Amino acid sequence: MRTKPTLTWTPTGEPAPRTTDLSEVVHAVGQGGVVVLSGAGLSTESGIPDYRGAEGSLRRHTPMTYQEFVGSEEGRRRYWARSHLGWRNIARARPNAGHRAVAALQAAGHLSGVITQNVDGLHQSAGAREVVELHGSLDRVVCLDCRRMSAREFLDRRLRAANPAFAASSTQINPDGDVDLADDVVREFRLVSCVACGSGVLKPDVVFFGENVPAARVEQCYHAVDEASALLVLGSSLTVMSGLRFVRHAAKSGKPVLIVNKGRTRGDTHASVRVDLPLGQALTELTVRLGCPVA
Protein backbone atom coordinates (compact mmCIF):
# COMPACT_ATOMS: atom_id res chain seq x y z
CA MET A 1 0.00 0.00 0.00
CA ARG A 2 1.28 3.48 -0.91
CA THR A 3 0.39 6.59 1.05
CA LYS A 4 -0.48 10.02 -0.28
CA PRO A 5 2.62 12.22 0.03
CA THR A 6 2.53 14.77 2.86
CA LEU A 7 4.55 17.73 1.63
CA THR A 8 3.29 20.55 3.82
CA TRP A 9 1.68 21.15 7.17
CA THR A 10 -0.14 24.28 8.28
CA PRO A 11 0.19 25.10 12.00
CA THR A 12 -3.04 25.89 13.84
CA GLY A 13 -3.69 27.37 17.24
CA GLU A 14 -1.26 29.19 19.46
CA PRO A 15 2.41 28.19 19.24
CA ALA A 16 3.70 25.98 22.06
CA PRO A 17 6.02 27.77 24.52
CA ARG A 18 9.61 27.88 23.29
CA THR A 19 12.87 28.61 25.05
CA THR A 20 16.57 29.06 24.36
CA ASP A 21 17.50 27.49 27.69
CA LEU A 22 18.99 24.00 27.32
CA SER A 23 18.82 23.08 31.01
CA GLU A 24 16.02 20.50 30.65
CA VAL A 25 17.77 18.92 27.68
CA VAL A 26 21.06 18.82 29.58
CA HIS A 27 19.38 17.11 32.52
CA ALA A 28 17.56 14.50 30.41
CA VAL A 29 20.53 13.64 28.21
CA GLY A 30 22.81 13.55 31.23
CA GLN A 31 20.71 10.70 32.63
CA GLY A 32 21.63 8.57 29.59
CA GLY A 33 19.52 6.26 27.46
CA VAL A 34 18.24 8.97 25.11
CA VAL A 35 17.33 8.22 21.49
CA VAL A 36 17.94 10.91 18.88
CA LEU A 37 15.57 11.48 15.96
CA SER A 38 17.23 13.85 13.49
CA GLY A 39 15.91 15.65 10.45
CA ALA A 40 17.10 17.81 7.57
CA GLY A 41 17.62 20.83 9.83
CA LEU A 42 20.68 19.12 11.29
CA SER A 43 22.41 19.10 7.89
CA THR A 44 21.74 22.68 6.80
CA GLU A 45 25.02 23.82 8.37
CA SER A 46 26.76 21.34 6.05
CA GLY A 47 25.32 23.13 3.02
CA ILE A 48 22.37 20.79 2.44
CA PRO A 49 19.07 22.70 2.62
CA ASP A 50 16.03 21.43 4.46
CA TYR A 51 12.57 21.06 2.96
CA ARG A 52 10.51 23.39 5.13
CA GLY A 53 12.73 25.95 6.86
CA ALA A 54 12.97 29.63 6.00
CA GLU A 55 15.01 28.73 2.90
CA GLY A 56 13.44 25.29 2.48
CA SER A 57 13.49 23.69 -0.95
CA LEU A 58 9.72 23.10 -1.01
CA ARG A 59 9.34 26.83 -1.64
CA ARG A 60 10.72 26.28 -5.17
CA HIS A 61 10.99 22.52 -5.70
CA THR A 62 8.55 19.58 -5.70
CA PRO A 63 10.39 16.37 -4.80
CA MET A 64 10.04 13.20 -6.80
CA THR A 65 7.28 10.86 -5.63
CA TYR A 66 7.43 7.08 -5.74
CA GLN A 67 4.43 6.97 -8.05
CA GLU A 68 6.04 9.33 -10.54
CA PHE A 69 9.35 7.47 -10.45
CA VAL A 70 7.96 3.98 -11.09
CA GLY A 71 5.19 5.21 -13.38
CA SER A 72 7.21 6.58 -16.28
CA GLU A 73 10.62 6.49 -17.91
CA GLU A 74 10.34 10.25 -18.32
CA GLY A 75 10.04 10.65 -14.56
CA ARG A 76 13.05 8.41 -13.95
CA ARG A 77 15.09 10.26 -16.57
CA ARG A 78 14.30 13.58 -14.90
CA TYR A 79 15.24 12.20 -11.48
CA TRP A 80 18.52 10.59 -12.52
CA ALA A 81 19.70 13.54 -14.65
CA ARG A 82 19.18 15.91 -11.75
CA SER A 83 20.40 13.49 -9.11
CA HIS A 84 23.53 12.69 -11.14
CA LEU A 85 24.69 16.22 -10.37
CA GLY A 86 23.14 16.62 -6.93
CA TRP A 87 24.59 13.44 -5.48
CA ARG A 88 28.11 14.70 -6.06
CA ASN A 89 27.34 17.72 -3.89
CA ILE A 90 25.89 15.46 -1.19
CA ALA A 91 28.97 13.22 -1.38
CA ARG A 92 31.24 16.24 -0.90
CA ALA A 93 29.32 17.52 2.14
CA ARG A 94 31.08 17.18 5.49
CA PRO A 95 29.66 16.74 9.01
CA ASN A 96 29.04 19.95 10.91
CA ALA A 97 29.26 20.75 14.62
CA GLY A 98 25.81 19.24 15.23
CA HIS A 99 26.73 15.86 13.71
CA ARG A 100 30.02 15.79 15.62
CA ALA A 101 28.20 16.63 18.85
CA VAL A 102 25.75 13.75 18.40
CA ALA A 103 28.68 11.38 17.83
CA ALA A 104 30.42 12.71 20.95
CA LEU A 105 27.27 12.30 23.07
CA GLN A 106 26.91 8.72 21.84
CA ALA A 107 30.57 7.92 22.50
CA ALA A 108 30.20 9.30 26.03
CA GLY A 109 27.29 6.92 26.69
CA HIS A 110 24.50 9.49 26.81
CA LEU A 111 22.63 8.18 23.76
CA SER A 112 21.18 4.71 23.34
CA GLY A 113 20.48 5.15 19.64
CA VAL A 114 20.32 7.47 16.65
CA ILE A 115 17.44 7.48 14.14
CA THR A 116 17.79 9.84 11.20
CA GLN A 117 15.35 10.94 8.53
CA ASN A 118 18.32 12.20 6.50
CA VAL A 119 19.78 10.31 3.55
CA ASP A 120 23.18 12.02 3.47
CA GLY A 121 25.24 9.69 5.71
CA LEU A 122 26.70 12.60 7.70
CA HIS A 123 25.97 11.08 11.11
CA GLN A 124 28.16 8.10 10.22
CA SER A 125 30.86 10.33 8.72
CA ALA A 126 31.00 12.16 12.05
CA GLY A 127 31.55 8.88 13.91
CA ALA A 128 28.05 7.90 15.06
CA ARG A 129 27.50 4.13 15.25
CA GLU A 130 24.58 1.88 14.30
CA VAL A 131 22.51 4.74 12.92
CA VAL A 132 19.02 3.71 11.76
CA GLU A 133 18.50 5.38 8.39
CA LEU A 134 14.73 5.72 8.45
CA HIS A 135 14.51 6.91 4.85
CA GLY A 136 17.50 5.00 3.50
CA SER A 137 20.70 6.40 2.01
CA LEU A 138 21.67 8.05 -1.26
CA ASP A 139 24.95 6.13 -1.40
CA ARG A 140 23.16 2.88 -2.30
CA VAL A 141 21.15 1.86 -5.38
CA VAL A 142 18.61 -0.95 -5.63
CA CYS A 143 17.19 -2.72 -8.69
CA LEU A 144 13.40 -2.77 -8.45
CA ASP A 145 13.28 -6.03 -10.44
CA CYS A 146 15.95 -8.34 -9.00
CA ARG A 147 16.55 -6.32 -5.76
CA ARG A 148 20.31 -6.31 -6.23
CA MET A 149 21.97 -3.61 -4.14
CA SER A 150 25.01 -1.70 -5.41
CA ALA A 151 27.10 1.34 -4.52
CA ARG A 152 26.10 4.74 -5.83
CA GLU A 153 29.70 5.34 -6.91
CA PHE A 154 29.43 2.38 -9.30
CA LEU A 155 26.27 3.81 -10.85
CA ASP A 156 27.89 7.24 -11.07
CA ARG A 157 30.72 5.79 -13.19
CA ARG A 158 28.22 4.03 -15.48
CA LEU A 159 26.15 7.19 -15.92
CA ARG A 160 29.28 9.20 -16.73
CA ALA A 161 30.20 6.64 -19.40
CA ALA A 162 26.68 6.68 -20.86
CA ASN A 163 26.61 10.50 -20.91
CA PRO A 164 30.14 11.63 -21.83
CA ALA A 165 28.97 15.00 -23.10
CA PHE A 166 26.76 15.76 -20.10
CA ALA A 167 28.19 19.02 -18.83
CA ALA A 168 25.22 20.61 -17.11
CA SER A 169 25.76 22.42 -13.86
CA SER A 170 23.58 23.74 -11.07
CA THR A 171 24.32 25.60 -7.86
CA GLN A 172 21.03 24.72 -6.16
CA ILE A 173 21.04 21.39 -4.37
CA ASN A 174 17.94 19.86 -2.78
CA PRO A 175 17.69 17.66 0.34
CA ASP A 176 16.76 14.63 -1.76
CA GLY A 177 20.03 14.91 -3.65
CA ASP A 178 18.84 16.35 -6.96
CA VAL A 179 19.17 19.78 -8.54
CA ASP A 180 17.12 21.97 -10.85
CA LEU A 181 17.80 21.40 -14.56
CA ALA A 182 16.21 22.70 -17.76
CA ASP A 183 13.92 20.28 -19.61
CA ASP A 184 16.07 20.27 -22.74
CA VAL A 185 19.07 19.15 -20.69
CA VAL A 186 17.07 16.37 -19.07
CA ARG A 187 15.81 15.05 -22.42
CA GLU A 188 19.37 14.32 -23.58
CA PHE A 189 20.26 12.26 -20.50
CA ARG A 190 20.65 8.49 -21.04
CA LEU A 191 19.56 5.99 -18.38
CA VAL A 192 21.26 2.67 -17.62
CA SER A 193 19.74 -0.62 -16.43
CA CYS A 194 20.76 -3.11 -13.76
CA VAL A 195 23.96 -4.97 -14.63
CA ALA A 196 22.77 -8.08 -12.79
CA CYS A 197 19.43 -8.75 -14.50
CA GLY A 198 20.06 -6.65 -17.60
CA SER A 199 16.81 -4.73 -17.68
CA GLY A 200 15.84 -3.78 -14.14
CA VAL A 201 14.86 -0.26 -13.10
CA LEU A 202 17.42 1.31 -10.77
CA LYS A 203 16.29 3.43 -7.83
CA PRO A 204 18.26 5.09 -5.03
CA ASP A 205 17.85 3.13 -1.82
CA VAL A 206 15.78 5.90 -0.26
CA VAL A 207 12.12 6.19 0.67
CA PHE A 208 10.50 8.59 -1.77
CA PHE A 209 7.49 10.73 -0.90
CA GLY A 210 4.45 8.50 -1.21
CA GLU A 211 6.44 5.34 -0.43
CA ASN A 212 6.23 3.46 2.87
CA VAL A 213 9.18 2.96 5.19
CA PRO A 214 9.91 -0.80 5.41
CA ALA A 215 7.89 -2.33 8.26
CA ALA A 216 10.91 -3.99 9.88
CA ARG A 217 12.71 -0.64 10.05
CA VAL A 218 9.70 1.01 11.63
CA GLU A 219 9.52 -1.71 14.28
CA GLN A 220 13.24 -1.31 14.97
CA CYS A 221 12.64 2.38 15.66
CA TYR A 222 9.62 1.72 17.88
CA HIS A 223 11.73 -0.75 19.88
CA ALA A 224 14.50 1.83 20.28
CA VAL A 225 11.99 4.40 21.55
CA ASP A 226 10.44 1.85 23.93
CA GLU A 227 13.86 1.12 25.42
CA ALA A 228 14.86 4.78 25.66
CA SER A 229 14.59 7.10 28.64
CA ALA A 230 13.64 10.05 26.39
CA LEU A 231 13.38 11.08 22.74
CA LEU A 232 15.50 13.99 21.50
CA VAL A 233 14.30 15.48 18.18
CA LEU A 234 16.89 17.50 16.29
CA GLY A 235 16.14 19.66 13.28
CA SER A 236 12.86 18.16 12.10
CA SER A 237 9.53 19.85 11.46
CA LEU A 238 7.93 16.40 11.95
CA THR A 239 5.59 17.16 9.07
CA VAL A 240 5.61 13.60 7.72
CA MET A 241 4.18 10.74 9.75
CA SER A 242 7.34 8.64 9.36
CA GLY A 243 8.99 10.68 12.12
CA LEU A 244 5.96 12.13 13.95
CA ARG A 245 4.66 8.67 14.91
CA PHE A 246 7.69 8.08 17.15
CA VAL A 247 7.12 11.40 18.92
CA ARG A 248 3.49 10.48 19.52
CA HIS A 249 4.50 7.01 20.66
CA ALA A 250 7.05 8.34 23.15
CA ALA A 251 4.62 10.92 24.54
CA LYS A 252 1.85 8.33 24.89
CA SER A 253 4.29 6.12 26.82
CA GLY A 254 5.03 8.97 29.21
CA LYS A 255 8.60 9.51 28.01
CA PRO A 256 10.03 13.03 27.79
CA VAL A 257 10.08 14.44 24.25
CA LEU A 258 12.76 17.09 23.80
CA ILE A 259 12.63 19.09 20.56
CA VAL A 260 15.44 21.35 19.35
CA ASN A 261 14.46 23.05 16.10
CA LYS A 262 14.27 26.45 14.47
CA GLY A 263 10.57 27.17 14.00
CA ARG A 264 7.37 25.32 14.90
CA THR A 265 7.02 21.57 14.48
CA ARG A 266 4.04 19.28 14.12
CA GLY A 267 5.10 17.57 17.34
CA ASP A 268 5.27 20.66 19.55
CA THR A 269 2.13 19.76 21.51
CA HIS A 270 3.82 16.49 22.59
CA ALA A 271 7.07 18.13 23.68
CA SER A 272 8.25 18.35 27.27
CA VAL A 273 10.47 21.23 26.19
CA ARG A 274 10.85 23.13 22.92
CA VAL A 275 14.24 24.73 22.37
CA ASP A 276 14.51 27.21 19.50
CA LEU A 277 18.22 27.46 18.68
CA PRO A 278 20.52 26.70 15.73
CA LEU A 279 21.48 23.04 15.97
CA GLY A 280 25.25 23.47 15.84
CA GLN A 281 25.18 26.04 18.63
CA ALA A 282 22.74 24.11 20.81
CA LEU A 283 24.46 20.74 20.50
CA THR A 284 27.93 22.16 21.02
CA GLU A 285 26.70 23.81 24.23
CA LEU A 286 25.09 20.53 25.26
CA THR A 287 28.36 18.59 24.92
CA VAL A 288 30.27 21.23 26.85
CA ARG A 289 27.77 21.27 29.72
CA LEU A 290 27.88 17.46 29.89
CA GLY A 291 31.67 17.37 29.91
CA CYS A 292 32.14 15.71 26.52
CA PRO A 293 33.11 18.57 24.21
CA VAL A 294 33.72 17.84 20.56
CA ALA A 295 37.41 17.57 19.68
Domains of the chain: 17-48+95-135+212-295 (3.40.50.1220), 55-92+139-206 (no CATH)
Alpha helix segments (H runs only) across 108-240 = 122-125, 152-162, 183-187, 215-227
- Catalytic residue numbers read 135
**279 marked as part of a ligand binding site:** yes
Size of the chain, expressed as the number of residues it contains = 295
The answer to whether residues 157 and 131 touch, using CB atoms and an 8 Å cutoff, is no
Give the mean pLDDT of 41-67: 72
Residue 5 has pLDDT above 70, yes or no: no
The proportion of the chain whose per-residue pLDDT surpasses 90, expressed as a percent, equals 73
Burial of residue 172 (number of CB atoms within 10 Å: 0-12, 13-18, 19+): middle
Mean pLDDT along residues 159-174: 74
Q: Is 32 annotated as a binding residue?
A: no
List residues bridging with 34 in a β-sheet: 111, 230
Residue 272 annotated as binding?
Answer: no
More confident position, 51 or 113: 113
pLDDT in tens, 278-293: 999 999 999 999 999 8
